[in-house]
Structure formats: structure tokens, C-alpha cells
Amino acid sequence: MGQVMTEREIATVLREVTDEEVVFYQDYEWGMMKQLVDPDFAKDLLRVGQAWKERRDQETGPGKPAAEEIEPYHSLMFSERMARNATWLVNRKRPKDVEIPLRYRIDLLLLTPRSSWVGLSSGFVSAWL
């Protein structure tokens, strides 16, 4: 669906998480990272995700674009910067102060009509988990 992205290209569309975001995440176990991904790149992700989903509509349930090596999802998910961000967020050195490596488990692409969300305009909301 697209070309593999280099680490340099990833660095232009994915920012590093901030210390404040990490602290909030560790305190409350959730977080919102505004513009973690460049807005124009997010639009590209949505466009690619919608096209990919249309091609596999006969299947039910959420799709797994990074696991299926759909670009640019795969490049983004497995980039060094994303790994570093995830490592900082989950603080892999606690509770025994020994660093534990992260392991990829799953990604999901959910395309939900906004009309089903109270108070939101039409279109689609995407969540990439």
C-alpha cells in the first residue's frame, strides 16, 4: 500500500513524548498526547486505513494494519522513535529497577462513524491502539 519509511522520515512525523506526558501517564495510567503524530500524516494514515478496510470489508472485527505490514502503519509502529516513546511511557525499569524489554502484542485500526458519537460531526474517527 505504500513504501517503507526510514527512521529519518518517521522523525519528521512522530514527535517524542514529553516528560510531563510520561509523568501523567505513569500517575494516571492513561494519557492524551496532542499531535504526537503530525496532523497531515494522521490524515494520510486515515486515508490508507479507510482504503485498506474497504478492501477487507468481508471480514468482521477491527483490522491489524501494522501486523499485516500495511504501510505506513508498519514503519510507524516498529520505528525506533515509537519504541523509545513506548519504553519511556511504561517505565520498563520498575518495579525492580531492572530494564525489561518491550514486546509487540497487537495493533488495531478502528474506523467509527462520528455520527454514532454524541455531539460530534459527520465523518470518521480513527483510533490506533
Q: Is 71 helix (H, G, I), strand (E, B) or coil?
A: coil
Grid coordinates standing for 56? 477487507
Q: What one-letter code names the amino acid at 109?
A: L
Q: Is the pLDDT of residue 33 over 80?
A: yes
pLDDT higher at 57 or 33: 33
**Partners of 113 in the beta sheet?**
124
pLDDT per residue as tens digits for the range 58-73: 665 566 777 788 899 8
pLDDT per residue as tens digits for the range 89-116: 887 665 566 666 777 777 777 776 655 5
Say how far apart CA 29 and CA 9 lie, in whole Å: 29
Sequence spans of domains, the chain: 7-58+71-103
| Residue 61: per-residue pLDDT | 59
